[in-house]
Amino acid sequence: QKEVEQDPGPLSVPEGAIVSLNCTYSNSAFQYFMWYRQYSRKGPELLMYTYSSGNKEDGRFTAQVDKSSKYISLFIRDSQPSDSATYLCAMSAPPNEKLTFGTGTRLTIIP
Amino acid sequence: DADVTQTPRNRITKTGKRIMLECSQTKGHDRMYWYRQDPGLGLQLIYYSFDVKDINKGEISDGYSVSRQAQAKFSLSLESAIPNQTALYFCATSDETSDANTGELFFGEGSRLTVL
């Protein structure tokens, strides 16, 4: 079993929809959780970062961490075609140590 | 110019050939990494370096070697390329002194390697 599991998709939704992306993990030592966004032919870029459990909101994006269930989510509200990308979850324990990545979910927003 | 630059961006080679992928950065970060990305497998760490004199193996180092020539330069070598090393390779940097302490990685745009 992989330490981090992520549904690879692909996921296609109409513009304006709410998107939910999820990862589960098995290592209870993970404390730092990130979401990276990767556009086609580009390297990943950090989108959201959260520490321990709870929610964090940044514009149309909300990251949730439930450490009791070992489950993290990224919600995208009012999705736009520019949100079409691959989203990778990543986590580490403690900070500035090696990140463990999910496999990535490929998302397409249909205009 | 990109903060993390990888060369070449694309390379096709034959089995048994020696290949070097180069990475240079202008971010002033001490930590540098090489990752491999394959469909369905995500990003896998090959090697990482926390400073010029520090080299560490990652999850999948077999068949690869690295050289940290300077703070800003980190190269990945395949001594004798084989077809299952066909993949997208990423160099990344991070700043251990970041006030945000997120461990954020800054990636290059990738080097696509095809081994025939």
Quote the pLDDT of residue B39: 84
Does B92 sit within 8 Å of A95, measured CB to CB? no
**pLDDT value at B86 more than 60:** yes
- Cα–Cα distance between B76 and B59 in angstroms, integer? 15
Quote the pLDDT of residue B47: 97
Does A95 sit within 8 Å of B105, measured CB to CB? no
The more confidently predicted of residues A98 and B45 is: B45
Nearest to A100 by CA among A40, A36, A47, A45: A36
Quote the pLDDT of residue B55: 96
Paired with A45 in beta bridges are A37
Q: How far is A110 from chain B (nearest CA, A)?
A: 23
Place of tokens 């030592």: A29
Mean pLDDT of B29-53: 92
Does B107 sit within 8 Å of A44, measured CB to CB? yes
Quote the pLDDT of residue B102: 66
Q: Identify whether the C-beta of residue A103 lies closer than 8 Å to the C-beta of residue B41.
A: yes
Tell me the residue ranges of DSSP E strands in chain A: 4-6, 11-14, 19-25, 32-38, 45-51, 54-58, 61-66, 71-76, 85-92, 100-101, 105-110
Could you give the angle at the alpha carbon of A46 between the alpha carbons of B67 and A20, nearest 5°?
Answer: 135
Nearest CA in chain B to A37: B107
Quote the pLDDT of residue A99: 87
- Sorted by sequence, the CB contacts under 8 Å of residue A61 that are 6+ apart come out as A35, A47, A48, A74, A75, A76, A77
Tokens of B40: 């369905």
Q: Encode chain A (111 residues) as per-residue pLDDT tens digits.
A: 789 999 878 999 999 999 999 999 999 989 889 999 999 989 999 999 888 888 999 999 999 999 999 999 999 999 999 999 999 999 988 755 788 999 999 999 999
HSE-CB of A26 using CA atoms within 13 angstroms: 5
pLDDT band at B100 (very low <50, low <70, confident <90, very high): low
Quote the pLDDT of residue A95: 58
**Side chain identity, residue B28:** G
Which site among A35, A99, A100, A106 would you substitute to test the B interface, given the most B Cβ atoms closer than 10 Å to its Cβ?
A99
Is the C-alpha dihedral spanning B33, B93, B11, B76 positive or negative?
negative
Per residue in B15-35, pLDDT (tens digit) is 999 999 999 999 999 999 999
**pLDDT value at B54 more than 80:** yes
